[in-house]
Amino acid sequence: MPTLFTRHLDRFRRDARGNIAVVFAFALLPVLSAIGCAVDYSRAAQIRGKLQAAADAASVGAVAKTAPAFVAAGAMTTDGPIAAGATDATTIFNGNLSGESGFTLNSVTATVAKASGAVTSTVQFSATVPTTFLGVIGKPNLTVGGSSTSTASMPNYIDFYLLLDNSPSMGVGATPDDVAIMVNNTPDACAFACHDLNDNKNYYKLAKQLKVTTRIDVLRDATAQLMDTAAATETYNNQFRMAIYDFGASAQSAGLRNLFSLSGSLSSAKAAAGNIDLMTVNGQNDNNDQDTGFTAILPAINSAISAPGAGTSAAPLKYLFFVSDGVADEQNASCLKPTNGARCQSPINPALCTTIKNRGIKIAVLYTTYLALPTNAWYNSWIAPFNTGPYGPSPNSEIANNMQSCASPGLYFEVSPTDGISDAMTALFKKAIADARISS
């Protein structure tokens, strides 16, 4: 017979009203554990994010143009690691974490190296983050890590060989207004400021008295200014070296003349540019006026330019910077146009430039547009037939077309009478630098 105690015990066993509380109590433990783990992992992820940001800043900063690694790479003649860069990257990483807490940094490794014309930095890190809830289940720490890599292309070293047309045709007025002043002040309505040493009252002196600006004046100033542009643009000392050539001091010595030998001293090149002047003549028809000998000058400049390299300090790229009005005046049995006796007056032959370009030398051409001179009988007879258009820039101008064919792709610039030669030279220089960066 059941006792009172057993009856109460049996009734308690059959009563289900407290099961929900028991089940909830058992379920609450893993839920709380999961929330606790999520909190720990979230905190670790936040700390890793800060460490990753520091690593990114370090890898990018280590290859900045002003960074020690970038400067050191410019002086290296071979590829290899850059210790100064690794030190700099580590310093940047630690600096970005100044004042941060909640972790123990186990390691940070930075490597910076130069290879194939680029500087690459890699920063790797590992850190320990203490846990709160995970410690209950025997995991007192979480380990986080990451890496960041940045690469910067090194600027190219470039040798520029400036070939500047200083033949008598560059004595023409720089603008239509300058041309008009000369025409209106000369008895034969001549637009050319010929530098005739046999004439004390030559048109070269007249142009200066009238304050007429000629093409050669503008070219002189533009070349000097180009040196300032190059100096302000270069990343490394001697990144750009310059050589300056013209077509000769006089008609009797017409041919390639070296005004300034290849050098990284841009200030010296600027000073040498001040010597650019119009070719002199000794009387009318000196040298039969054959003062623009492209068939001799371009092969000569080709011989003066050494083999181009990959754009390093030891093996610079080579660019010929050619400034001319594009009309040959020479003795040439292969003249492209009918000759006047032995005198060949014709647009430049692009084949002369092709020979140079085939060596891997880029040619940047600044065409100083051959101005139409309708009052000049010589121009009308011999130049106008292949210089269609008021200033020669039309599609029918063989001079412009041949000069463009002379240029490497994307490196042609034509200066109209209203354009500034100085601005054009600067624009073409910057295009050449951009071309070098893309091509290398």
Say which CATH number the domain at 88 has: 3.30.1300
Strands of 279-361, DSSP E: 280-281, 317-324, 327-330, 344-347
Looking at the structure, tell me whether residues 111 and 228 fall in a common domain: no
pLDDT digits (tens), the chain, 440 positions: 566 656 655 665 565 555 554 444 444 456 545 566 778 889 999 999 999 999 999 999 999 988 999 888 888 878 899 999 999 999 999 999 998 999 999 999 999 999 888 899 999 999 999 988 777 777 889 999 999 999 998 888 999 999 999 988 788 877 888 888 988 888 877 777 776 777 777 888 888 888 988 888 889 999 999 999 999 999 888 899 999 999 998 888 889 999 999 999 999 999 999 999 988 888 777 667 777 899 999 999 999 999 999 888 888 999 999 999 899 999 998 899 988 888 899 999 999 999 999 999 999 999 988 877 777 788 888 888 888 754 444 566 889 999 999 999 999 998 865 567 888 899 999 999 988 876 65
Let me know whether 57 and 147 are in one domain. yes
Claim: this prediction has a pTM higher than 0.95: no
Classify residue 12: in a domain, yes or no: no
Amino acid, res. 52: Q
> Collapsing DSSP states into helix, strand and coil, what is residue 42?
helix
String of DSSP letters for 227-257: HHHHHHH-SSTTSEEEEEEES-SBGGG-S-E
Residues 273, 257 share a domain: yes
Task: Pick the last residue of a domain from 111, 133, 153.
Answer: 153
Its domain, for residue 215, covers 158-439
* Residue where a domain terminates, one of 153, 173, 192: 153
Total domains, the chain: 2
Question: Domain check: are 118 and 167 in the same one?
Answer: no
Residue 405 maps to a domain: yes
Question: Would you say 90 and 125 are in contact if contact means Cβ atoms under 8 Å apart?
Answer: no
Do residues 230 and 141 both lie within one domain?
A: no
Residue 28 located in a structural domain? no
CA pair distance 233, 226, nearest whole angstrom = 10
